[in-house]
Amino acid sequence: MTIPTVIETAHGPLHLPVYFPDATRGVVRTVDSRDLEACGVQGLVVNAFHLSTRPGAGLIKQAGGIHRFMDWRRPIASDSGGFQLMSMIRENPRYGTITRRGVHFTDLDGNRKKTLFTPERSIRLQFDLGADLVICLDDCPSPDASPQEVEAAVERTVHWAERCRAEFDRQVEMRGQREGPGPLLFGVIQGGYDRELRARCAAELLPLGFDGFGFGGWPISPDGELALDILATTAELVPDALPRFALGVGKPEHIVRCYLKGWRIFDCVLPTRDARRGRLYVFDAGSLDQVDLRSTSFYHFVYVRDEKHKREGDPISTACDCLCCRNYSLSYLHHLFDIGDPLGMRLATLHNLRFYTQLLERVSAL
Ligand SMILES: [Zn+2]
């Protein structure tokens, strides 16, 4: 069996490998849907929990779904949002508790409202949004969790996955078959850095019949390195026919290394966040076809605020065809950041996203 190179969705195909920018709250900050299309972005990830609090899943459903709401015509994956919720609770227990039933969350930063976030609720939310790629609620332990805590998280992840599967099937039946492919359901494999627990989690999830699998947990180990061994082990646990989603993996060199281990879908806040802070990604080679992704370093950063760019008449990169590089000098971009104009962040974001779409095109040729 070979690894698929395309996933069909109701909003068109996803050509693998693919990188999804994070549109957590229904927007990739500073850019709009036309901008994203122009960069060659194939799909986005939204956060079901965040959207359910603002503006509310009901409002988005009434607006015709998240695609119509943000006028994005290509595929959307929705993250259950459990990862953020659980991180908050584990850092500060006043935010709530995690039980077998679900996540009991108190909104300490807002109206102090208490919500019970269950696997069923997470799936219903993702259906209300109209996501093409639905991700199960899973229990992600903190990176320094004890072996007992990791084992408990695996047990809970499997239990929640069974409930997600059942609710997903109920929703498909209730809402009726639309034309074209329906949404896909991805399970998430937990197990920390323990190979046996990863294997056990995968063995219990596989019979539930998911359309793909995500890497659950922290892809970056506590010492800051990519946890490539456990990523490789986890990839091997998934049959090649099912797409593998390296949730949260996104540094360019990490994408390359994970791709070589079988991972095909990536999402990460880094390139867009870096862009807003004036950190730009540039391939080392003068032209794209000279980029050697297998070398230890194939790109570098340009810090737009650096004084040395004040009079730089060239664009960020002559090898880039983004809106910014085609039309504007680094000097102009430096000026925009200097005066704090939002256009600077938009142009920088477009550049970094184009770097990523070009990177993924190159990766697919490896
Ligand atoms: Zn560019």
* 267 catalytic per annotation: yes
**pLDDT above 80 (res 179):** no
How far is Cα 33 from Cα 72, in angstroms, rounded to an integer?
Answer: 6
Range of weakest confidence among 20-29, 84-93, 162-171, 343-352 = 84-93
Active-site residue, selected from the candidate residues 22, 79, 132, 138: 79
Average pLDDT over residues 270-283: 97
pLDDT at 243: 97
How far is Cα 89 from Cα 130, in angstroms, rounded to an integer?
Answer: 28
Band (pLDDT 50/70/90 cuts) for residue 11 is: very high
Sequence-distant (≥ 6) Cβ neighbours of residue 202 within 8 angstroms: 189, 213, 234, 237, 238
Query: Which residue in 184, 135, 136, 127 sits closest to 156, CA to CA?
Result: 136
Could you read off the pLDDT of 284-296 as tens digits, one per residue? Answer: 988 888 899 998 8
**pLDDT above 80 (res 154):** yes
pTM of this structure:
0.96
Average pLDDT over residues 175-180: 73
CA of 269 to the centre of ligand 1 (A): 18
By three-state DSSP, how is residue 274 classified?
helix
Question: What is the residue-wise DSSP string for 129-180?
Answer: HT-SEEE-------TT--HHHHHHHHHHHHHHHHHHHHHHHHHHHHH-PPSS
pLDDT at 175: 86
**pLDDT above 90 (res 191):** yes
How far is Cα 46 from Cα 90, in angstroms, rounded to an integer?
Answer: 23
pLDDT at 279: 98
Residue 178 vs residue 69, higher pLDDT = 69
**pLDDT above 90 (res 107):** no
Band (pLDDT 50/70/90 cuts) for residue 181 is: confident
Q: DSSP 3-state helix, strand, coil percentages of the chain (rounded to 5)?
A: 45, 15, 40
Average pLDDT over residues 96-102: 93
**pLDDT above 90 (res 317):** yes
**pLDDT above 90 (res 271):** yes
CA of 325 to the centre of ligand 1 (A): 4
Phi, psi of 79 (to 5 degrees): -80, 140
Active-site residue, selected from the candidate residues 22, 139, 211, 267: 267
* 292 catalytic per annotation: no
pLDDT at 177: 66
Two tokens, residue 277:
């802070």
Average pLDDT over residues 237-258: 96
Q: How many CB atoms lie within 10 A of CB 222?
A: 11
**pLDDT above 90 (res 202):** yes
**pLDDT above 90 (res 86):** no
Average pLDDT over residues 213-225: 89
Average pLDDT over residues 9-38: 97
Residue 81 vs residue 302, higher pLDDT = 302
pLDDT at 338: 98
**pLDDT above 90 (res 143):** no
Band (pLDDT 50/70/90 cuts) for residue 343 is: very high
CA of 316 to the centre of ligand 1 (A): 6
Average pLDDT over residues 6-28: 97
Q: How many CB atoms lie within 10 A of CB 208?
A: 16
Range of weakest confidence among 112-126, 152-166, 330-344 = 112-126
Band (pLDDT 50/70/90 cuts) for residue 115 is: confident
Q: How many CB atoms lie within 10 A of CB 300?
A: 10
Average pLDDT over residues 242-250: 95
Residue type, 241: A
CA of 326 to the centre of ligand 1 (A): 7
Query: Which residue in 218, 198, 248, 196 sits closest to 90, CA to CA?
Result: 218
CA of 317 to the centre of ligand 1 (A): 6
